[in-house]
Structure formats: structure tokens, C-alpha cells
Amino acid sequence: MKNIIIIQRIVPHYRIPFYNGLYAYLLEKNIKLTVIYGQEKTGAVPKSVFVDEPWAVHIENKYYALMGKELVWQPCLKLLKQADLIIFEQANRLLINYLLLSRLLTGNAKLAFWGHGKNFQSTHSAGLLEKWKKTFNNAVDWWFTYTPLSTELIELSGFPAEKITTVFNSIDDSALRLEKEKSSSLDIDKMKKKLNINSDNMAIYCGGMYSEKRLAFLLDACDEIKKSVPDFHILFIGSGPDQYLVEAAAKNNSWIHYLGHITGSQRVPYFLASKVLLMPGLVGLVLLDSFLLETPLITTNVQLHSPEIAYLHHDVSGLIIENDLNSYVEAVVNTLMSPQKLKALQLECVKSSHQYTLENMVHYYGEGIIRCVS
């Protein structure tokens, strides 16, 4: 039996279904999966969860500060002795990486990165830290990339394309699908009545509320949209340091509704009631919610997006607009006012929702592991 070890700094709750699926997939191929993980730094997000599964091994991460940068030590070297393949995160701050890449303590195990190819949220993409990260791109035997956008970056660094597995990063959407099937127009009407909304021209924002999300830009856009669409309403779901901007706007405008922090399937009726999902700033996995719940996403071409933005095809399954307020407003208004265009976007969302699934991610990742170890 081959032994595969994945080292993760943390395991957020949304990753557990993926690892459960991957463990079962590999076990059928006579391959054993072990995931070594620790806890987040106190007060940091996302948070790790304690996992009681046969694939999980918990360790205690150590966090250090050096010249304003965070370093992390993951004490797991003794657990790697029987590994045939070790997969680990591509991140400068993880000290274990440098020991692994030296290959002095890993025996004959193959090494693989799992990563984005770069820090997509970095404001210094050409800076020293990003250059340092790139120097190690070709130091492993295999790459597991999140999306085709990440794959393209690794290929450009000279890494062999045949040794790259694009996993098409996704999350478990079964609860959302079930809730969507259960939801009725009566549920939506009840929700709208509760919020005192008597309109179909609704939009939604759902996500964290911090600077990269560009909430000030969105609120300015909403003011302009309202001038062209008098019955326009927008729902805001989420929390974070910039939520005060939304709270203040909602207090002064009855058509802006701040609903606070809502997670999981509880968000479904709000998405189904909305025609579009507005997010002019950083876009990540919320794109999968957009596809599944047939609420096309409208964003801008800022250089902040997570690699999942590769799933969004402009004017097909959503819109990526020039980073200009007037252009963004015009695109939203045109979409709201064009039932035919909106329907076409929704149909493509449905197709995309069947393409980017957890089951497919498990398959791609599992087959990549099999190819690597064989």
C-alpha cells in the first residue's frame, strides 16, 4: 500500500468533505491518505477544526514573528518516514518546507506542492517575497494547482505540464442544492415581505467585509443604480472590519438591507430572490454559490481575485467589467433590465455548477496522486 501524506497548516470545516472523499477514493486504489494539520494562530481566520477521521493527524503548530513577518513551525518530521509522496503548501512562512525541499529527511518520497502559483492578493506581485517563492517552483516532483489560472503560472515558470494536476478547487454544495430544491416562491415572498421589499429588481452581496472587497465602491455604485432602477434593492450578507460602511448605508436607505453574518444553506432564499450577485472587489469561492443558485456574479477586473476567477467567463456565466464606476453601474443596470440577457447568464451558471463540483475535485486530485506515485 502506498502512503500519501498531505501537510496542511490548518483544516477548515469546509475541507473535511473533500478529505473524506479523497481518502475513500484512494483507499479503493490501495493507497492510504494521511493529512497532518494544526491550529491557526490565536485570533486568526479561517479557523481550524479538530477532525476525528481515520485520515487526520493533529499536531501543535508554533507561530513566530521575525521582522514583521509570521513564521510557522509544523512539528511533523517523525511522521513522514514511510511516505511515498508528501504534498505540502507553497508558502514562504512554512519552515517545514525548506527542510522538505532539502530532501535530507524525506528518504525516497516524492514531493509535491499544492498551491496557487503566487499570492493573488499581494500588492507587491513583483516584490522580493514573491520572487523568493518562485525560486522553489521547480524544486518538487509534482504540482497540484487550484485552477487553470494557477496551472498557467506554473507552466510559465518552466515546470513540465505533464506533471501538473489542476484540481479545480471546489467545496461541498450538497446542503445548498438540497435547500434550493426545497425552496419555493412562497418562501421567497415571505422573506421579501419581512424585509418590506416589493420589487423583483434585487441584488445581493455575500462575503467578508474588508478592504479588498471594495464595499465603498459597491455602495457608490448602488446609489447610481438606484437612480436608473427606482425599485432597486440590495441585500448584504457578511461581517468584518468594513461592515460599518454597510450598516451606516442601511440605516439611511430603506432599500439597502444588512442581514449580518449568515452561513450555509440559510443564505439560499436571499440568493434565489436576487437577480445578480454584486462583488466589485476580491472574488473567491462565492463564485460557486453564484453558479449553483443561478445568481450571476458581476465583478471588476481588479488584480485581487483568487484563482477561482478562472471559472467565470465574461458575458457567459457572469460579467467582469472594467474597474470604473460608470462602467460597472451601466453593466448592472443593463443586466437587471434585460430579462433575455439575465436568463442566458443563468443557464450558463447551471452548466458551470455541474462542472465545478467536489466530486470532480476529488477525482482530479486522486488521479493526479495515482499518476505521480506510479
What does the pLDDT look like over 262-295, one tens digit per residue? 988 999 999 999 999 999 999 999 999 999 999 9
Looking at domain 174-355, which CATH architecture does it have?
Answer: 3-Layer(aba) Sandwich (3.40)
> Torsions phi, psi of 278, nearest 5?
-105, 125
Exposed e or buried b per residue across 220-232, where buried means at least 16 C-beta atoms within 10 angstroms of its C-beta? bbbebbbeebeeb
The whole-number pLDDT of residue 132 equals 82
342 pLDDT band, cuts 50/70/90, is very high
Tell me whether residue 185 is exposed, middle or buried, using C-beta atoms within 10 angstroms of its C-beta: 0 to 12, 13 to 18, 19 or more.
Answer: exposed
pLDDT tens column, 165-222? 999 999 999 999 999 999 999 999 999 999 999 999 999 999 999 999 999 999 999 9
The whole-number pLDDT of residue 126 equals 62
Alpha carbons 258 and 238: distance in angstroms, whole number: 8
Cβ neighbours around 65 below 10 Å, total: 8
Cβ neighbours around 2 below 10 Å, total: 17
Residues paired with 164 in a beta bridge: 143
pLDDT tens column, 235-251? 999 999 999 999 999 99
The whole-number pLDDT of residue 323 equals 98
Alpha carbons 5 and 93: distance in angstroms, whole number: 20
Which helix or strand (DSSP H or E) is residue 178 part of? helix 174-182
Please count the CA atoms within 13 angstroms of the CA of 298 that sit on its side-chain side. 27
Q: What would the CATH number be for the domain defined by 2-170+357-373?
A: 3.40.50.2000
Cβ neighbours around 347 below 10 Å, total: 13
Q: CB of 372 within 8 A of CB of 312?
A: no
Does 139 have pLDDT greater than 70? Answer: yes
For 104-110, what is the mean pLDDT?
A: 92
pLDDT > 70 in the chain, percent: 98
Domains 2-170+357-373 and 174-355 share a fold: yes
Alpha carbons 18 and 356: distance in angstroms, whole number: 13
Alpha carbons 181 and 179: distance in angstroms, whole number: 5
Q: CB of 229 within 8 A of CB of 260?
A: no
Does 256 have pLDDT greater than 80? Answer: yes
Do you find a cis peptide bond into 160, omega within 30 degrees of 0? no
The three-point CA angle 317-321-325 to 5° equals 140
Alpha carbons 172 and 361: distance in angstroms, whole number: 10
122 pLDDT band, cuts 50/70/90, is low
The whole-number pLDDT of residue 121 equals 60
Q: CB of 63 within 8 A of CB of 41?
A: yes
* Domain residue ranges in the chain: 2-170+357-373, 174-355
Query: Of 299, 302, 246, whose CA–CA distance to 277 is shortest?
Result: 299
pTM of the predicted model as reported, rounded to 2 decimal places: 0.91
pLDDT tens column, 21-73? 999 999 999 999 999 999 999 988 789 999 999 999 999 999 999 988 999 99
What would the grid cell of residue 225 be? 443604480
125 pLDDT band, cuts 50/70/90, is low
Furthest-apart CA pair in the chain: how many Å?
67
Alpha carbons 164 and 124: distance in angstroms, whole number: 26
Alpha carbons 265 and 283: distance in angstroms, whole number: 20
DSSP state of 314: B
More confident residue, 287 or 128: 287
Cβ within 8 Å of residue 125, ≥6 positions away: 118, 119, 303
Mean pLDDT score of the chain? 95
How far the first Cα of the chain sits from its last, in Å, is 12
